[in-house]
Amino acid sequence: MFLVPALAAVLAAAGVLVFVFQKYTVTTVYVKGNLHYTQEEIQNIVMEGPLGHNSIYLSLKYRNQGAGKIPFVSAMDVNILAPDTIEIMVYEKALAGYVRYMDTNMYFDKDGYVVECSDVLTAGVPQITGLNFDYVVLGEPLPVEDKNIFNSIMELTKLLDKYELTADKIFFQSEGDITIYFGTVKAALGNDRAELENKVMRLPQLLAKVEGKTGTLRMENLTEDKTGVTFQNE
């Protein structure tokens, strides 16, 4: 007598599950905030497993959760835009630069802590040279003598970002002089921190003038009237 209602309830529940799985099957994915990984790579990471294409499951799985052991990523959120459409927000670790150690790229944050190691280059993150250290430990700060160097690195990388410049490498000499590498052109800025922003601000215009050339922009003696810059061909 009770089998029919029970069977009906089971069938109804199964029908609801089928409806949910069909209606909330992801067919469109938007990825934002990713720099180190491509959209396809993020999509494959997030949508793995038997329920990886269900938008409700993904939204719940990544709610208030970290990114696990995914290198360069601190967290990810999955937002449902429509039953079949999701948006994956990627929150990558803040990287100030990287150093080469034992043929590996060791990425560090604004405080000098090594947050990742990888053979892959991350676009927009410059290599930092001129730092002296004997070892590198993941999760610990780079063992350099002058800890203030990380403030200088962050100050410079923020200025580069402000003026939409992407450096390949930044060389910090022990005397305080800074040289920035942009492809085949180097910009020698000197060690006057008071004039640092003025010099970086001038770089887009100067780099445009020497595009295609190989050499060094000598900017150590840049004056307020924008004179004192020479280009040394190499």
What pLDDT is recorded for position 94? 82
Model pLDDT, residue 99: 95
* Confidence at residue 222, expressed as pLDDT on a 0 to 100 scale: 80
191 and 87 co-located in one domain: no
For residue 221, report the phi and psi dihedrals to the nearest 5 degrees.
Answer: -110, 25
Considering the domain architecture, whether residues 14 and 44 belong to the same structural domain is answered as yes
d(CA 84, CA 61): 16
118 and 225 part of one domain: yes
Whole-number pLDDT of residue 2:
47
Phi, psi for residue 29 in degrees, rounded to 5: -130, 130
**Domain count across the chain:** 2
Based on the domain organization, do 186 and 105 belong to the same domain? yes
Residues 79 and 105 in one domain: no
Whether the CB-CB separation of 220 and 232 falls below 8 Å is answered with no
* 81 and 161 belong to one structural domain: no
Supply the DSSP symbol for 135.
-
Among residues 92, 114, 132, which one ends one of the domains? 92
Based on the domain organization, do 114 and 130 belong to the same domain?
Answer: yes
Identify the domain boundary among 58, 92, 126.
92
Q: Is 162 found in the same domain as 74?
A: no
Would you call 215 exposed, middle or buried from its count of C-beta atoms within 10 A (0-12, 13-18, 19+)?
middle
Q: What is the CATH number of the domain that holds 226?
A: 3.40.50
Whether residues 113 and 202 share a domain: the answer is: yes
- Say which residues have a Cβ less than 8 Å from residue 114's Cβ, sequence separation at least 6: 106, 107, 108, 136, 137, 138, 139, 140, 141, 142
**Residue 35 pLDDT:** 82
**pTM summary value:** 0.72
Query: Are 117 and 176 within one domain?
Result: yes
Segments forming the whole domain that contains residue 10? 3-92
Per-residue confidence of the chain (234 residues) as pLDDT tens digits? 445 555 545 555 555 555 556 678 889 999 999 888 889 999 998 988 888 889 888 888 888 776 667 878 888 899 999 999 999 999 888 889 999 999 999 999 988 999 888 888 888 899 999 999 999 998 899 999 888 899 899 999 999 999 999 999 999 988 889 999 999 999 999 988 888 999 999 999 999 999 999 999 999 888 666 667 888 888
Q: Which pLDDT score, from 0 to 100, does residue 62 have?
A: 85
Asked whether residue 87 falls in the same domain as residue 107, the answer is no
137 and 46 fall within a common domain: no
